[in-house]
Structure formats: C-alpha cells, structure tokens
Amino acid sequence: MEKFLKLLKIETLGGLIIRFSLAGLLLFGGFSKFTLIGAEGYSLQGAILMAAIETISSFGILYHFKNPIMGIIGGLLALVSVIIRFVFTLYWLRTEIGSINSLFESFNIMTLVFNNGMFHIFLLIGASIYCTGNSYKHYITNRLTQPWPK
C-alpha cells in the first residue's frame, strides 16, 4: 500500500510539472508573440489576439487551484492557441515555399523536415488536454463533496 501511495505522489508531482510548464510556455509565447509577429510585418491585431489568448490561458491554468472552472477555460484556450499556432505554421510554410500549393503538402513538408517541432506540438496538445481534464476532475470532485443546498 505504501508503494502505491508513493506512486500517487509522483503522479501529482508530474501533473504539477506539466501544469506549470505549459503555463510558462504559454506566458512566454504570449508576450514574445506580441512583439515578434507585429515586428515581422504580420497583422498586429492578430499578434495582440494571440498574446491575449495565450496569456489568459496561462493565468487560467495557474488559477485552477482556486477555481477549477478557470482551469478548464485555461486548458481549452491553451488547446485553441496550440491549434492556431499549428495552422499558422502550416500557412506560413505554404506562403514562404513556392512549390507548396496546399496545406496538406505543407503538412507533409512539416512532418519530413520538422519532426522535432511536430513532437512538441503533440506534447503541447497533450498537456492542454491533461490540464483541462484534471481541472474538470477537480470541479466534479468539489461539486460532489459540497453539502446539499438548504
């Protein structure tokens, strides 16, 4: 039984590492994207929107400990921002390389050339799904353990 309890502590520690790492990456990405995309000639409004989505999602992921609903919202926003980042990368590849005619061809190029990048995208998607599910689990647990209304 003691070994099982140690494994639960390790799982909790791993979940905290995933949560804080994802929040840190999104917070860094939100603030850096605010300056980088605007500076490179892309839409400044789009850069501000992406920075806002990633910053709000990182704060929501961290605020999970006080309010699990904010963790759910933060996790879903993190998932949306990773998907937007992925689609933006595909679109960027299609426009920058002249021989690519479709997003599917740019996806093929991305899997051939940027294997490491694809791995990180899938890790970010998994981390955001984990954070959303964990916050949802805590929300349901809190709802079940609250006393009945009077």
Q: For the residues of 17-82, what is the DSSP string, one character each?
A: HHHHHHHHHHHHHHHHHHHHHHHTTS-HHHHHHHHHHHHHHHHHHHGGGT-HHHHHHHHHHHHHHH
Residue 2 lies in a domain: no
For the residues 110-129, what does the mean pLDDT come to? 79
**pLDDT cut 90: percent of the chain above it:** 19
Sequence-distant (6+) residues with CB within 8 A of 53 are 30, 77, 80, 81, 84
Domain count, the chain: 1
Q: Is residue 1 in a domain?
A: no
Q: Which two tokens stand for residue 75?
A: 């996790």
Range of the domain at 111: 10-145
What is the four-CA torsion angle of 105, 106, 111, 115, rounded to 10 degrees? 170
Domain contains 30: yes
Closest alpha carbon to 133 in 22, 10, 9: 22
In a domain, 78, yes or no: yes
| Predicted local confidence at residue 73, as pLDDT | 93
In a domain, 4, yes or no: no
Pick from 61-75, 78-92, 101-115, 130-144: least confident: 101-115
Residue 53 lies in a domain: yes
Q: What is the pLDDT of residue 42?
A: 64
Residues 6+ apart with CB under 8 A from 120: none
pLDDT in tens, 76-97: 999 998 888 888 777 777 777 7
pTM of the shown model = 0.78
With respect to residue 72, please indicate whether it lies within any of the assigned structural domains. Answer: yes
Across the range 42-48, mean pLDDT stands at 73
For the chain, the average pLDDT equals 79
Residue 137 lies in a domain: yes
Q: What is the predicted pLDDT for the residue at 136?
A: 92
In the chain, the percentage of residues whose pLDDT exceeds 70 is 79
How far is the C-alpha of 31 from the C-alpha of 21, rounded, in Å? 16
The burial of 83, by beta-carbon neighbours within 10 Å (0-12 exposed, 13-18 middle, 19 or more buried), is given as middle
Position 129 scores a pLDDT of 92
pLDDT at res. 38: 46
